[in-house]
């Protein structure tokens, strides 16, 4: 009983110290698993994924993924530096890979490890479409959504095997959580869906990033309309039409276009 009390006190203390304000969302986020533990594991899993899948390089599509990815990254850096968050991306190791797959999908792991599947290219269609997808995916990473999902998973796990965590072995635990959160072992391409709130946040941040990178945020609406019209019944969770509903998503984005344009204007980017 005494051990239990000590454990929960330590746990609560950890919880308080692990809440950090996220510059992109302005919210305190639950970060039970720090980036220093998440990123090496994410990098390793990304490397493993690339080994096990067909990475396309040297084609004009692959070059576009890289080029537009870099522009989105630069936009994020500009925004952070302008808002007093120098060094926020210091542990990031950006990579932008095109992978051969019919899946209509793309993702970004913590630390800036991005994959775009060839299956989404007919829907992204042009540079602005690709910028919409990359902006959205990068935003999940910037807003630490994966980390929060992992923290939530850790909490669940604590309910079941809390004492195991209390006695140590945290890195093994973290590894396991990483595996669960990213499904790297078997289903990295079919990641667990983010919550509706996280999707909306990624849309909002992504819209601003694409605008700062010079892509008209109105094109994001056109992209999501194309995505909505893509009725291939096997959309992976990340781009499932009901999460949030296409209509809600598009309505929200329309409202946010002027916000994104105003933000871009601060960096000298002007849209007609």
Q: Which residues are catalytic?
A: 137
Closer CB to Zn ion, 202 or 221, in the complex: 202
Residue 175 or 252: the one with the smaller Cβ distance to Zn ion is 252
Q: How far is the CB of 181 from Zn ion (least distance, A)?
A: 14
Residue ranges in 71-90 that form contacts with Zn ion under rule CB under 5 A: none
* 95 contact partners, CB below 8 Å, separation of at least 6: 46, 112, 113, 114
**Closer CB to Zn ion, residue 79 or residue 239?**
239
Region binding Zn ion by CB under 5 A among candidate stretches 87-95, 97-105, 198-206, 218-226: 198-206
10 Å CB burial of residue 49 (0-12, 13-18, 19+) is buried
Q: How many CB atoms lie within 10 A of CB 239?
A: 20
> Segment contacting Zn ion (CB under 5 A): 42-50, 53-61, 64-72, 196-204?
196-204
CB of 224 to Zn ion, least distance (A): 11
Judged by CB under 5 A, the stretch of 109-117, 146-154, 158-166, 199-207 that binds Zn ion is 199-207
Nearer to Zn ion among residue 39 and residue 138 (C-beta): 138
By beta-carbon distance, which residue lies closest to Zn ion? 202
What is the nearest approach in angstroms of Zn ion to the Cβ of residue 66? 21
**What is the maximum span of the chain, computed from C-alpha positions, in angstroms?**
67
**Is residue 108 a contact residue for Zn ion (CB under 5 A)?**
no
With CB under 5 A, what is the number of residues at the site for Zn ion? Answer: 2
Query: Least separation, in Å, of the C-beta of 253 and Zn ion?
Result: 13
202 binds Zn ion (CB under 5 A): yes
Angle CA 202–72–99, to nearest 5: 85
Closest CB to Zn ion among residues 94, 194: 194
Which part of the chain contacts Zn ion (CB under 5 A), choosing from 50-58, 89-97, 202-210, 222-230?
Answer: 202-210
The residues of the shown chain that bind Zn ion, judged by CB under 5 A, are 199, 202
């Amino acid at each position: 009983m005494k051990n239990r009390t000590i454990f929960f006190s330590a746990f609560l203390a950890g919880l308080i110290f692990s809440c950090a304000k996220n510059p992109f969302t302005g919210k305190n986020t639950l970060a039970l698993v720090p980036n220093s533990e998440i990123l090496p594991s994410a990098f390793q899993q990304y490397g493993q994924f690339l080994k096990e899948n067909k990475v396309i390089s040297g084609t004009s599509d692959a070059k576009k993924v890289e080029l537009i990815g870099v522009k989105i990254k630069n936009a994020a850096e500009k925004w952070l530096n302008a808002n007093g968050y120098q060094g926020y991306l210091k542990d990031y190791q950006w990579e932008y890979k095109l992978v051969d797959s019919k899946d209509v999908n793309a993702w970004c792991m913590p630390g800036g490890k991005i994959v775009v599947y060839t299956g989404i290219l007919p829907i992204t269609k042009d540079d602005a479409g690709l910028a919409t997808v990359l902006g959205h995916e990068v935003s999940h990473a910037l807003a630490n959504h994966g980390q929060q999902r992992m923290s939530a998973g850790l909490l669940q796990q604590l309910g079941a095997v809390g004492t195991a965590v209390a006695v140590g072995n945290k890195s093994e635990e973290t590894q396991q959580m990483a595996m669960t959160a990213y499904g790297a072992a078997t289903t990295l391409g079919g990641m667990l869906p983010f919550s509706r709130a996280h999707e909306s946040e990624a849309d909002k941040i992504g819209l601003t990033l694409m605008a700062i990178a010079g892509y008209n945020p109105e094109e994001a609406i056109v992209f999501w309309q194309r995505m909505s019209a893509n009725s291939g019944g096997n959309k992976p969770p990340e781009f499932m039409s009901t999460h949030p509903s296409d209509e809600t998503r598009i309505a929200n984005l329309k409202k946010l276009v002027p916000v994104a344009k105003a933000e871009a204007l601060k960096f000298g980017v002007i849209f007609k």
